[in-house]
Structure 1
Amino acid sequence: MDTIVEIEGLTKTFRNRRGIRDISLSVRRGDVYGFFGPNGAGKTTVMKIMAGLSRADRGKVRLFGHDVAANYEQAMAKVGVLIETAEAYGYMSGRKNLEMAARFYPGLPASRVDEVLELVGLSNVQRERVDQYSLGMKQRLGLAAAVLSKPELLVLDEPTNGLDIEGTVHIREIILRLAREERTTFFLSSHLVHEMELMCNRIGILHEGKLIREGPRSELLGGRFATLEELFLHEVREERRAIAHV
């Protein structure tokens, strides 16, 4: 099975001394990899480095075998990204925003905009100005932009942020369908353990900048834990106990 994401020894320290430390992991084609932990654990920092939006102090990220820092264009050629807040031009309609984004992908059929609007459930509001959209609608538009080019890897930071229950279920179904039918690989972050449990076949648990547990979901639970929430709380307690005894 192809390795799509390779992260080795990733480290970045900010002025407040928070950051990430020596993170290593890999993601294979077709995986839905869930990167979860509390707010401030370092999830977005890792994803920004993956997307070339920030530089690590040490370590490497390779996407499709290409080093992001050294060969950015090759590394990102088949990647779609939605990190933090979805950005769009508020004075334009949702459709116009997507049509403008489509210009960056030569050869993309015009029908693709209609396809992604339908996919994320925005067809009925595509002519409305984005500044009239709710937070959840903006998040859907950001996802539409991320999948516009039919990327083979999607890096999504809190993809269900701002969505109601129906919207959350819809996005989950989209992710699972793309992974199953098109073998799209996903690297997702969230602090919502329940969503990770329903979507992801592989899990990485991040706590205070450190990857404290990582692997296939079924192996991590291993019959010992009924839910990822139980696993997470156990791992955090063990990590704190280990630190206290250093």
Structure 2
Amino acid sequence: MALLEVRHLTKRWPTGRLALDDVSFQVKEGEILGLLGHNGAGKSTIMGITLGMVRPDLGEVRIGGHSVQQARGRALQQIGAIYEAAVFYEYLSGWQNLRVLCSLSGWWDEAEVKRVVQMVNLTRAIQQKAATYSHGMRQRLALAQALLPQPKILLLDEPTDGLDPEGIREFRELILHLRKQHGLTIMLNSHLLGEIEQMCDRCVILKDGKKVYEGPVPSQEKSKRLYLLETTDLGLAREVLDRSGATMDKHGIVEVPQHMEPHELIAALVRGTVQVNAWQPHHRTLEELYMGLSSKS
């Protein structure tokens, strides 16, 4: 079931630049979906519209069946977010910051706050002033604030931006734990392809405001059998593969059809007098997918 639905979003800025061009996709309950794209592709605009901070020219976002544009309060009750840089009162402790931020919605449950603080590994530092927090601690405090009170979906805008490798790994493990242990649905926007690949089930790739891909992250694909063929007889190999029902891209990556086994395909190549220098399993990466889509005009 889709918990978040992006429906035909179109947005043009006053300068005339088209930020989003009829973008639609869904985030299913319990999944982690990544938004990818170059700077200016429209990722943050989608985040802003989803949070009710930007009004689209056309289309809408629905959260749990409620339209952000028509029933903003009911829709946003179900969402928590880290959007752009987290800002806190520097002279207050982490605990006091959470209390102030929660008071804006008239909600406070001390036991639940303690549980969430422990969940984000901030218990030891929660009584310290925010001015003393490292960037990683600030991100964990922002995550605690986003998780109060228990949202159904979490939006993360560049959550690991500025973190060192250790901090990125810690944050990634925390997000995966939230999904595994608490069934949280997550949509995140990141420039780090490796993080999307390790965290997300599916991704949406944007280019110049248009959606150019929606589907599984390549590392999550189980059905495709891909092999890398190295040969000097590319033209002849392509003819043999076409007759066998297989496809090969310009990089020599062959998708074995479901009706054949890999050894049968290699035998067909040899019978067709193709000189096979190498034949090995290939696992497509998100970088390959992203760069291939980005290079298309």
TM-score (norm 2): 0.75
- Tell me, in whole angstroms, the C-alpha distance in 2 between the residues paired with 1:220 and 1:129: 48
Tell me what 1:67 maps to.
67
C-alpha spacing 1:161/1:54, structure 2 compared with 1 (3 Å): same
- Give the corresponding residue for 2:84: 84
- Mapped to 2, the partners of 1:107 and 1:92 lie a distance apart of 19
2:94 matched residue in structure 1: 94
Q: Which residue of 2 aligns with 1:11?
A: 10
Once residues 132 and 39 of structure 2 are traced to their aligned partners in structure 1, the CA distance between those partners, rounded to angstroms, is 28
Q: In the alignment, residue 11 of structure 1 is paired with which amino acid?
A: T
Point out the more displaced range, 134-143 or 39-48.
134-143
Q: Assess if the C-alpha contact under 8 Å between 1:82 and 1:146 holds in 2.
A: yes
Q: Whose radius of gyration is greater, 1 or 2?
A: 2
What is residue 113 of structure 1 aligned with on the other side?
113
Question: How far did residue 53 of structure 1 move?
Answer: 0.9
What is the number of equivalent residue pairs in this alignment?
238
Residue identity opposite 1:184 in structure 2:
L
| Equivalent position of 2:165 in the other structure | 165
Same amino acid, percent of matched pairs: 39
Give ranges in structure 2 of 5+ residues lacking alignment: 227-252, 254-282
Partner Cα distance (2:46, 2:118) in 1:
31
Q: After alignment, is 124-133 or 40-49 more displaced?
A: 124-133
Moved over 6 A (4+): none
1:52 correspondence with 2:57: no
Shift of 1:106: 5.9
The aligned counterpart of 2:293 is 235
Query: How many angstroms does 1:209 deviate by?
Result: 1.4
Q: Which runs of 5+ in 1 are unaligned?
A: 241-246
Measured on the aligned residues, the alpha-carbon RMSD in Å equals: 2.0
User: With CA pairs under 8 Å and 6+ residues apart, which has the higher RCO, 1 or 2?
Assistant: 1
Shift of 1:18: 4.4
User: In 2, Cα distance between the equivalents of 1:118 and 1:12?
Assistant: 40
TM-score, structure 1 normalization? 0.89
User: In 2 relative to 1, CA 73–221 (structure 1 residues): closer, same or farther, beyond 3 Å?
Assistant: farther
CA drift of 1:226 comes to 2.0
Match of 1:152 in 2: 152
Q: For residues 190-209 of structure 1, what are the structure 2 equivalents within 5 Å?
A: 190-209=190-209
Q: 1:143·1:159 contact (CA, 8 Å) conserved in 2?
A: no
